[in-house]
Amino acid sequence: MIVPMAACCVLAVILAWEIHDSNATVALIEQSDRRIALATRIELLTVDEETGLRGYQTTSDLRFLAPYNQAQGKMQDAIGELRSIATGATPRLDDFVTQHEAWRKGFAEPLVAIIQAGGKTNDIEINLTGKTEMDRMRSDLNEIVQISERTRGQRIEEWHSQVHELLIVLGTVTLAVGILIALYMRNRLSSVSGAFRRALDHEKQRAEELYLSEQNLRTTLISIGDGVITCGVDGCVLMMNPIAEELTGWKIAEAFKRPLAEVFHIVNETTRELVENPVDKVLRLNGVVGMANHTVLIRRNNSEIAIDDSGAPIRSESGEITGIVMVFRDVSLERRTRAALLANEKLAVAGRLAATIAHEIHNPLDSVANLLYLLQQNPGSDDARHFLELAQSELDRVTHISRAMLSLYRESRAPVPIHLKETLEEILLLMDGRFHALNISVSAELTPDVVVEGFPAEIRQVFTNLIANAAEAAGKGGSINIRLSPQKPVSDAAGKRSEDGALVEINDNGPGISPEVGDRLFQPFFTTKGERGTGLGLWISQGIVRKHGGMIELINHPNGQSGATARVFLATKPVLDPGGD
């Protein structure tokens, strides 16, 4: 591009120079026209002076002197302007000014004075003198006009010559530039032709690489253990791997260009309502999306399988969505495994609590047996009534413990209001024997009337695990503090409001959580209790809390203080799924 641009710049400079000269000549022509116009104007003003003076001479009426008087100022301005541009006619203009001054002083003003004095002004000699001077002035003005016209004619001829030269130069330079550009473009076209051939070879190589890449991609898709479906932005199926064909019951040849909702028919397992089409959800959210829990796929033969899936947009280089890819898998076995693990953990918790309850019930039953023995030995003593009251108190305690045990594992099919203060107090009552055996001091700061919705048995299981873990961490002679407080919604810096809910904090004064343990706390089957633990408690507790729209975290106390805190947040009105994990 540099060579054509440079040639055009040279041509532009030459044209600009020639146009500048032409414009200068035109300006001089306009200057000559202005001199002619000024000379003509001065001549007209001279005529006005003479006419006004002759009218006054004839009538002696001062009104006839108005053109004479008005012409004086205008003539001075015109003479001054003409003097500034009358380069070749300056001597004649000086003669005119001298003659005009002589006419005014020697003829016009004396004539006005004679008339005003009442004298006679019809003397032929005086009038001839005035006429002679006026003729000389007109002659000077005519000479100025002639000089200006000759100059104007010369400059017009000069302008025509410049235009002719401009056309010749323009044609010559244009021809030279055209030849130069033609030669240059021929060279460039040769280079472009070579580059085009090289580009074709490169594109051919890229096409071969793309074909190999596509074959590798197809092999990879076939090898993937999950089902993969790709769709266009119109929601029609474009590709399926064999796993997707097996899970849906559709072959790609049959499903090609069919709407996704027809091939990938998904509903909620519980409500049986249609789940939002993944293509529509990806387009609406403009990002990667996942499906809700308990989504089932209705296969082509009307059988059902539980699936877990996600969708993601396929974007062009400009960022525009050109398609959607979905990945899904059969989670039926995973669900059964998780249910088995949950049942296993419940049995482990039940076993630990059974031992605790047996110990708790054994003590009051021993007391009742001793009191009955004393009554048998002294049935009519004065202490018999007191012995009966003590026995009744111990039996009430056993009843309370048994009821708490029943409520701990009473299942609920739908979310119900849970009074967290009562729940925590029941758990502490059941574990009182363990605390007493370990000499652990327990303090509780439980705000009343803190209610959340959920499944009571699962919530009790979570806090039973966490309090038991805190007791084991505190060890003999340790201490545990449990705090329950309501949490009001607050707004962050972005204006997003948090949920209304409850916060439970379980603090112990044990050794705390080491870094290598902290990274694996919520992993399944990881335990620090050896044979006494299953490694499922915290993992299942985390799943339950998340199901209840909350969060759980374990952190060390700040500022180097010993001990750790288990912090659990539960939403007041979460969106719950009775079968969720």
The predicted model scores a pTM of 0.38
Given this model, what pLDDT does residue 504 score? 94
Given this model, what pLDDT does residue 386 score? 65
Strands 479-487 and 441-446, sheet pairing: parallel
Closest CA to 549 of 531, 518, 575: 575
| CB-based contacts of 81, cutoff 8 Å, min separation 6 | 38
- pLDDT (tens place) for every residue of the chain, 581 residues total: 676 677 777 777 877 787 777 777 777 777 777 778 887 888 888 888 888 878 877 788 888 888 888 887 888 888 888 778 766 667 777 788 888 888 888 788 888 888 887 777 677 777 777 778 788 888 877 887 787 778 778 878 888 887 888 788 878 878 887 888 888 888 888 888 888 888 888 888 888 887 777 777 667 766 677 888 889 888 899 888 888 888 889 998 888 989 988 888 888 877 788 888 788 888 888 888 876 667 888 888 888 888 887 888 888 888 888 888 888 888 877 777 776 666 666 666 656 556 555 555 655 666 566 666 666 666 666 666 666 766 666 676 666 566 555 555 555 567 889 999 998 988 888 787 778 888 899 999 999 989 999 888 788 878 888 898 888 888 888 999 999 999 877 554 455 556 788 999 999 998 888 777 766 677 666 666 655 555 667 777 888 888 888 889 888 888 777 888 999 999 888 876 544 44
- The H or E element spanning position 102 is helix 90-103
Gap between the Cα atoms of 116 and 114, Å rounded:
5
| Tokens 């023995």, residue located | 373
- Amino acid of residue 513: I
| CB-based contacts of 381, cutoff 8 Å, min separation 6 | none
CA 324 to chain centre: 22
Closest CA to 54 of 38, 43, 68, 39: 68
| Residue 134 in tokens | 């006026």
| Residue 458 in tokens | 């699962």
Given this model, what pLDDT does residue 581 score? 47
| Residue 394 in tokens | 């111990």
| Tokens 């990667």, residue located | 288
Given this model, what pLDDT does residue 421 score? 92
Gap between the Cα atoms of 383 and 532, Å rounded:
46
Where are the alpha helices (H) located in 224-265, listed in sequence order? 242-248, 252-255, 260-263
- CA distances to 215, 231, 300, 307 from 244, rounded to whole Å, are 18, 13, 12, 12
Where are the alpha helices (H) located in 249-382, listed in sequence order? 252-255, 260-263, 278-285, 332-377
Given this model, what pLDDT does residue 485 score? 93
Count the neighbouring beta carbons within 10 Å of the beta carbon of residue 425: 15
The three-point CA angle 103-106-109 to 5° equals: 85
Establish how many alpha carbons lie within 13 A of residue 402's alpha carbon, considering only the half-sphere containing its beta carbon: 10
- Amino acid of residue 436: H
Given this model, what pLDDT does residue 528 score? 65
Q: How many residues does the chain have?
A: 581
- CA distances to 30, 54, 56, 352, 420 from 68, rounded to whole Å, are 30, 10, 10, 134, 118
